[in-house]
Structure 1
Amino acid sequence: MNEISWLSIALGFLGGFGLFLFGMEYMGEGLQKAAGSKMKNLLGVLTNNRFLGVLVGAGITALIQSSSATTVMVVGFVNAGLMSLAQAVGVIMGANIGTTITAWIVALGEWTSFLKPSVLAPLCIVLGVVMTMFAKKQHIKHIGQIVFGFGALFLGLDMMSQAAKPLETLEEVKSLFVVLGDNPLLGILVGALVTAIIQSSSASVGILQALATAALVPWNSAIYIILGQNIGTCITAILSSIGASKNAKRAAMIHFLFNFIGSVVFAIIAFISFKLLVPNLGAVSIEVTQISIVHTVFNVVNTILLFPFAGVLVYLAERIISGGEEELEGELQHLDERIIETPSFAVENAVKEVVRMGNLAEQNVKTAMEALLEKKENKIEEVYKREKIINQLQHGINHYLVKLSNSPISEKEHSIITGLFHTVSDIERVGDHAENIAELAEILIKDDLSLSEIAHQELQEIYEAAVSCFELSLQAHEFGDKTIAKKAMPLEQQVDRLEETFRSRHIKRLAENKCSSVSGVVFLDTISNLERISDHASNIAMTILDENKSLTTEEMTFSV
């Protein structure tokens, strides 16, 4: 075979593989869009019932056509605190079963001539293009995307198969697969490396099936390569867990342990079978459908075998990645970019993170007032330190919200995100006012000044009303409750009245020389800051009451 033929084969195979990958990705994206909120509903049924987790994992993977993507999603959910490790085990097991759907799609061509890639590919591509370009309903366009993805996948498969046909006559290629079949470790290593490089077991199984159409792959090498492919697919989740929480790393480790243990057990069984029980089968060429069967049997049986030992997998992952979680207040605890793939979850967690930021701001107001009323210098430093954390969270949350707003979300979710942009800004301003109060406390302590008893009582009264208003506004956001939001509004009006009354009284005290001018300025500035805090609390409550508030692109850009 001359050099030009080798180049032709390489280009044909690589081009086909590129189309196959594109088709698989495009089809999965269409399926996910068509599924919409059903993704959230599927994961919403997760409890500590591991069996449900297996079904959900299989269902989601069948939808998005990638166990790697599902596992990465699981890592993101665990990292964001949406899912426990116990729940993650079942989903990971199910994901391995769901990923076999691609192999069965590829195998369709062996069943009847109508389902051959060369026949189905052009039909699906034409139909998909027509539906995508001319359909008015979004749902029909999504179905068109799925159909077009099928066509591209089949076209890529047909190109790979055609490119591999000339290799049928080459004894060197057949000998290579014989070597892989005779050496289980080498076969597993090749399968793992190829899958790790392309980061998709579905795609690497598709390559194997394309080579099988040219009768190049014997049974023994196919099985060892498939086992390696199941190990190699873990690399995506492992890479995804870098920089994530320890529990997220443990979820990736569970995925690896599950596939590694299963592959080792099956490799031993296969080795014994080919050497002692059915030695002649090892050299027989495997068919495309038989690869699908082997791939499915491995994942189903592996799940059945290891399902009762899910707790052991969690224990091993915790032992390998030891230590507790170190919660850093300045880091985003509920947000993870991996879960933007399921926007409904991402929006829910964005609300949680904003409320957490609000709780820190509330804590800072209380600490600042404690520093002022009780003249505690150590509390002032605590306020300054926490204010830096609040500013960090503002930047991180806004960055996340911008990304989330650019993902495919519903009108309601867009409205929630718009409200969150405003709320984050208001919370940050509350933090600024807490810092202002801490600075006023610093003046009192530095100049050794005191406030009168009546001033103390008035500050306590307006402070309690302002904090209650802020607490209710945060609760309204946390639960999306308009009733709670409405309760915050009268408190804001009460703070306004108190601020006006106390200001008049204090100016009168100053005129009568009942307190020093510096103490008087501290008092007046403090009630002014508390009044502004209640105003921001009112704004936060209004984002729940006024769901149609819009946010301009300029505001979104500026807030980041």
Structure 2
Amino acid sequence: MLHLLNLLAAISLLVWGTHIVRTGVLRVFGESLRQVLAKSFSNRLNAMVAGIGVTSVVQSSTATCLIVASFVGKGIVSTTAALAVMLGADVGSSLMAVVFSFDLSWVSPLLIFVGVVTFVSQQDTGAGRVGRILIGLGLITLALHLIVDATRPLTQSPAVRALLVALPSDILLDIVVGAVLTVLSYSSLAIVLLTATLAASGLVPTGVALGLVLGANVGSGVLAMLATGRASAQVRRLPVGNFLFKAAGALAAIPLLGQAHILLQEFVGDVHQQVVIFHLGFNIVIAAVFIGLTGFVARITEKLLPTRAVGAGTERPRHLDPSALATPSLAISCAAREALHQADVVETMLRGIMPIIRNNDVALAEQLRQMDDTVDELYTAIKFYLTQISREALSERESRRWTDIVSFTINMEQIGDIIERVIQDVEDKKIRKNRSFSDAGMAEIAALHERLMANLRLGMSVFLDGHARDAKKLLEEKARFRDMEHEYAASHIARLRENTAQSIETSSLHLDLISDLKRINSHICSIAYPILESAGALSKTRIRQSRFAALPPEME
């Protein structure tokens, strides 16, 4: 029992080591990886080379698949080019298996020692994040040696040997077992290395090991499909196409396994090396055979997963791509785009206030009130999406952007609530009672509304670009708007003294309206706080902590 527990712990350490390396690399090179992939789709060969390079660094063909699938979903790259990238990604993953199959016993303690020292001493720097990667690499090599030590006693167990006797008789069963293990561990690299170690220890016959390797390749394709199961049809095409490559390759390899085993025994003496070389050779052959068929398979996936027409008026979340969560830098961009979508809905609501006031449009009032539900739903969706992003894989700048998006969406959600109350007040106190503002009062409200629309557009620009100059300009609008509110409130009181009938009838609504517009403007101007704080340009009399920037303006 103790030996089995040690084996499970070693396997867990292997999976955890690959996770640390993957998240560490994405944190250090995340945006660069996106740029490399985005610029490498000029032809299929370049795309395949890009897939090899990126996956060799990330150590996960599944992670590469999720990155590229999100590009396909956004129309940045065609499915044909993306499939070429995935053929290279599978070769890159198998190359890493070959690297880790060598005797690296002396490397493990060195990597862990250097990595820990670097990470602890310079945790918040680029060097510290590289140290994290070194720790992960050290844990991978250490886990492989622990697996060897843990399996050695198990090879002597008659019960274990009897359990494995049935496996060589059914290659399809071997493939299924390998695929299931890969899905459970979320790492085909870990399962291939584990299989090679077990085969070298004599616990698993080499023929069974080759079947398990085929299953690991199929399992990695299943993993990507599961990860994108709730994404759009465009996003799911790449995982499906990649799975078709792997499944077809595995089926074609079944009758050739015996001959492949003989060739490996003839040219490669070490059993461990036989397994990893077979894994590499399988993926190289798949890439060579199918690189010319990527267009054909892309058309098949397009027929299997046709694009569904989306109505122009739909306001559901458009940019929160679940497959992008594997790449935090890409997920942050998706969340920012959805936040701007939320702001567009708020802008539509704000623009509709004046037609309701001027025309007593009850139907439009009802439509805009319903849009507040959309704003709330988008806020909830964005917030939930952000919580799914791995904070440990974010750089310092991306962490600030994460906070900026939260602050922005909170302000948009609260603006939507205020607009809904404004519309309800106009309907209750003006439309139903058949009252009208005075000409002067209407002009004042229109002037405030026009300034508010301009400030909202400026706020969206500040959120998108993050320019400190525009953020300062937006913050200055807060004082200007407050002065306008005071001026117009005084003018209204003057009209009351003159016994202007319309002003008397709508006095309460008028004062509440300009007060609510001021509150909306305060929320808009709050967008500038985190931008100015990041630039070090926020006055000492202003809020200094970025977490406070998300609070409602009335709590400042």
Q: TM-score range by the shorter chain?
A: 0.7 to 0.9
Partner of 2:221: 234
Q: Report the residue type matching 1:435 in the other structure.
A: E
In the alignment, the residues of structure 2 paired with residue 367 and residue 417 of structure 1 have an alpha-carbon distance, to the nearest angstrom, of 31
Where 1:515 maps in the other structure, the secondary structure is: helix
Q: Report the residue type matching 1:106 in the other structure.
A: F
Partner of 1:3: none
Partner of 2:289: 305
Contact 2:175 2:211 in 1 (8 A): yes
TM-score by length of 2: 0.81
Partner of 1:260: 247
Contact 1:368 1:441 in 2 (8 A): no
Partner of 2:541: none
In the alignment, the residues of structure 1 paired with residue 461 and residue 261 of structure 2 have an alpha-carbon distance, to the nearest angstrom, of 69
Partner of 1:365: 350
The reply on whether 1:98 has 2:98 as its aligned counterpart is: no
Contact 2:98 2:280 in 1 (8 A): no
CA deviations 1:311-331 (Å, max 9, x no partner) are 333333333334516589665
Deviation at residue 207 of structure 1 after TM alignment: 2.1
Contact 1:121 1:151 in 2 (8 A): yes
Where 2:436 maps in the other structure, the secondary structure is: coil
User: Among residues 288, 300, 324, which one is paired with 2:308 in the alignment?
Assistant: 324
In the alignment, the residues of structure 1 paired with residue 185 and residue 397 of structure 2 have an alpha-carbon distance, to the nearest angstrom, of 37
Partner of 2:410: 425
The reply on whether 1:445 has 2:439 as its aligned counterpart is: no
Deviation at residue 380 of structure 1 after TM alignment: 1.1
Partner of 2:467: 481
Partner of 1:70: 64
Deviates most, 50-59 or 190-199: 50-59
Q: Report the residue type matching 1:263 in the other structure.
A: A
User: Among residues 527, 534, 538, which one is paired with 2:521 in the alignment?
Assistant: 534
The reply on whether 1:407 has 2:401 as its aligned counterpart is: no
The reply on whether 1:203 has 2:190 as its aligned counterpart is: yes
User: Among residues 463, 466, 487, which one is paired with 2:452 in the alignment?
Assistant: 466
In structure 2, the CA distance between the partners of 1:249 and 1:325, relative to structure 1 (3 Å rule), is farther
> What is the RMSD of the two structures over their aligned residues, measured on CA atoms?
4.1
CA deviations 1:359-393 (Å, max 9, x no partner) are 21111111232222211111111121111222233
Contact 1:19 1:156 in 2 (8 A): yes
CA deviations 1:399-448 (Å, max 9, x no partner) are 55566594354443344344444333332332233223312331222122
Partner of 2:506: 519
| Count of residues paired in the alignment | 541
In the alignment, the residues of structure 2 paired with residue 530 and residue 25 of structure 1 have an alpha-carbon distance, to the nearest angstrom, of 49
Where 1:447 maps in the other structure, the secondary structure is: coil
TM-score by length of 1: 0.80
Deviation at residue 67 of structure 1 after TM alignment: 1.9
CA deviations 1:199-258 (Å, max 9, x no partner) are 321122112211332457666544433222211122322332243333333343233223
Deviation at residue 349 of structure 1 after TM alignment: 3.1
In the alignment, the residues of structure 2 paired with residue 545 and residue 167 of structure 1 have an alpha-carbon distance, to the nearest angstrom, of 62
Partner of 1:4: none
In the alignment, the residues of structure 2 paired with residue 501 and residue 128 of structure 1 have an alpha-carbon distance, to the nearest angstrom, of 63
User: Among residues 140, 145, 158, which one is paired with 1:153 in the alignment?
Assistant: 140
Deviation at residue 501 of structure 1 after TM alignment: 4.6
Partner of 2:365: 380
In the alignment, the residues of structure 1 paired with residue 154 and residue 513 of structure 2 have an alpha-carbon distance, to the nearest angstrom, of 83
Q: Which runs of 5+ in 2 are unaligned?
A: 539-543
Where 1:185 maps in the other structure, the secondary structure is: helix
In structure 2, the CA distance between the partners of 1:58 and 1:557, relative to structure 1 (3 Å rule), is farther
In the alignment, the residues of structure 1 paired with residue 347 and residue 509 of structure 2 have an alpha-carbon distance, to the nearest angstrom, of 21
Deviation at residue 453 of structure 1 after TM alignment: 4.8
Partner of 1:54: 48
In the alignment, the residues of structure 2 paired with residue 491 and residue 127 of structure 1 have an alpha-carbon distance, to the nearest angstrom, of 52
In the alignment, the residues of structure 2 paired with residue 122 and residue 236 of structure 1 have an alpha-carbon distance, to the nearest angstrom, of 32
Partner of 1:246: 233
Q: Report the residue type matching 1:462 in the other structure.
A: L
CA deviations 1:108-154 (Å, max 9, x no partner) are 13xxxxx4x4x554555555555556678955555554444444333
In the alignment, the residues of structure 2 paired with residue 525 and residue 132 of structure 1 have an alpha-carbon distance, to the nearest angstrom, of 56
Contact 1:220 1:283 in 2 (8 A): no
